[in-house]
Structure 1
Amino acid sequence: MFSRPWWRPALTAVAAFSLSAGLLAAPAQAAPSVAVAGVQAAPSVAVAGVRATPGRQAGRCPAAVVFSATVTVKGAARVKYRWVRGDGTKGAVRTAKAGTGIKLQERRTFSRSTRGWQAVQVLSPKKLTSGRAHFSVTCQGSTDVETPRSPAEGQGPAPRASAEVAGGNTYSGPCAAPGRTIDFVGTIRVSRVPAAVSYRWADSDGGPLGRQDLWFSAKDSPRRTVGASRTFLAGQSGTRWIEILDRHGKVLSTSAKVPYSVTCTPTPAPVTASVTGVRVDPAAYRGTCAAPLTFTFTADLAVSKPAKVTYRWIRGDGTTVPGEWEFKDAKDLTKTVSLTWPVADPAKVAGGSATVQITSPGRSEAGPAKFTITCEDTGPGTVTVSDPVITTWSRGGGECTTQNPYQVTAASMITAPKGAGFPLDVTYRWRWADGGYWHKETVKITGPGPHRVAHQWFVQRSQAGKVFVDVLTPTPVKSGTTEYSVTCDGRPPVPNTGGVVTSVTDAKITPSSHTGTCPVDLKAVATITVSAPTSGPVEYAWVFDNGTSSPTAQVDFPAGGPLTKTVVWDEWRAVKTSGPVTGYLRTVTPNTAVSSPVSYSVTCA
């Protein structure tokens, strides 16, 4: 018998034998990003009522202490936690269903006088450690239990202890967070009971782990199963074993080493889908409301890889129109979808809007796009516009070449009838049947009769198209279209089989106003949108009213890529200007489109 037995360190109860040797993670990995539609509150975790029962006790040992706590989790389905102790050891990682007032509990048995604390460490859905529950145990009296000792200690024979670890552990597959857990199971035997055994797990990757204690009562089997686990976030191989210790921590015996191997395979990237560019044509209607009108909404879908996309249009009047599109070709991962909204009685509708939502895979939303209806009496004040007349001219005549470009002129007559209120401001825009357009222009008509409007451009390569005049105010009216064709270098125009430029927006020059040291570096940006992947690059240039221009540049819109791109011209050094200089970005091929005019000025100090 011993007046102060070495085996009185803290012993873990049978109920807690599935001991973790700690959450031994591989090198830290970044948490995966998550795309969430809308606004979602972050998970919240609160731990309260951490206590030890009894907190203080004195009497015969072994003695039991129950540690308890209450956890409340919001915004997650489960909570992962473990108990941590003042002596540096940690309990097994456990998982509980989330909710309000969830009870957590751990029972421990002690065979010697000791004092310390335990706390709850929450690992997910967020990390936190609770307050500490302090306790003390004072052992009184004696016990007849003998325990393993090193041979040098003498003092007669003691129970012998041995250990073994069963089987190997091999895993191959995904290891994405929260990781892949491998369980290890060992068996500890003693030569007789009662007995107390100290042991620890050891790993070739990290060495010895925390010391653990086992209590074998006189009624217990001399064989006990213990466990440990390790969570992997990356591939790893090694061995794990059990070491039996004396009271001083010296290794008395060692189990066989069990190999493990974890091979982490890449986790396939999830399919993502997005919707952008919601628009409506016409966006604003002004004119007679005697006949039904039709408004067409369009939007651009895109996916990261082939998949079926389901979506829905949500109109401003509450009508929902579902749709779906299956992307089968990895080279074509974009699609323009549309919604037609017929208005039977325009006089009773001021306008409308529509939003498009992707419902799978994931969630994405764009819009709303809006249209307005303004009803006007278009009686005797209605203007008319004639079909364009096309003429071509070249300074040198003969064949059209790069050195001898042709000037193309389209001219129409806008006629104001008698009875119209004069002077009359007529706003119009030259358009092409392929979706191209020029700047809005305004002409002031002072009396009834025709007024000539014209548009001129130069052609340096073969070109064909159809052009018309779109009158916007005071009442919407369009001319008929007129075809034209110019052949350069004896090569006829080649039909365009791809998408066309539908808009040039967000033009900006920075700095727009500069006073200081000259010259100054400027930057011009604009956004180009096409209807579909183009068969060739989009060519564009900046043109200014002081006679300067940027070099012609190109931007590609290949299949599977975005239909909207921002282009930048920053190789630009400006000197002093006599006042504001106005310019715009103009696309040359596959069709003509222009941005809104923007200005800049430079004053040298």
Structure 2
Amino acid sequence: MTFSTSVKVKTVASKTKVTYRWLRGDGSKSSVKSFALKGKGTKSVTVKETGTFKRDTKGWQAIQVLSPRAATSGKKYFSVSCGNDWTVLNPPHKSSAQVWVDEDNCRATLNGRISISGSRWVRYQWIVNGRVVDSDAVYVKGSRRVAHVIRTHDDFRGWAVLKIVGGPSSSRDYFKIDCRDWNPSPRVSVSISAPSTYYGSCPVARTFTGTISASHRGDVKYRWIRNGVAGGWESIHFSGYGSQSRTVSDSWSTSASGEAKRSIEVYNGPTSATAETKVICKSATPTPTPKPLPVQTPEPAASLTPGNNW
């Protein structure tokens, strides 16, 4: 790539030496170079520097005049892409970009037109609210239309710009996406876990726990399958953004030994694996009945009969 600029010098001597060097965006500088001007008055000289790049590069170049009077030009930005059969459009080629936005329900189509002199490959970027959201390269012969679609689940507003890499950018076009009618079914996954086997006194209640995960906000309908019998439909609402999870539960109460199975079915979606638990009721130990103490019968009292010895 060749960089060139014009140096204008007002000379007051019959011979003036001009020294200069190139400044680069990576912090490096070229060696000091010079040329001589003869005669008095204002003179203009074009200086050039050629750079070779082995990989994709973005940067800037500027020229710094050291003498006869110090001065530094503004920065000239450039972009180079290697390994393709197209070249990045750089001045002095004439180019322009236009953009307009078509708004729709929960989407906006960014339309752009790239116009250049001649025909060549051109690399461009879509910028929305100051952030690059897409980039590509197209072959342009005179002019060509390009487009990018924004899809969203929520109301969204902003501005869009079509930028030619190494060239000009379009003016901003502002847009507003209204998404009140958006109510898609999110992508859903479901899992379930069972409580451990219970051994103890009854009656007892055991709780199954399920996890429902959704890809974005919206309503999800589900139902419990209890021992192979489907229950009524229930609904949960996901109000956040991005992937999220909610926990649901179902209780089983029993007063006798047995087992219970549960699974969760999502409406128009997946069904979880089946979880199983058991209850073993332990009989209560009867309270022993105390034995009655033996009743002691008192012996009859001795009686004296009058006799000879009285």
Give the TM interval when normalised to the shorter protein.
0.3 to 0.5
Q: Which has the higher contact order (CA 8 A, sep 6+)?
A: 2
Larger Rg: 2
TM-score by length of 2: 0.39
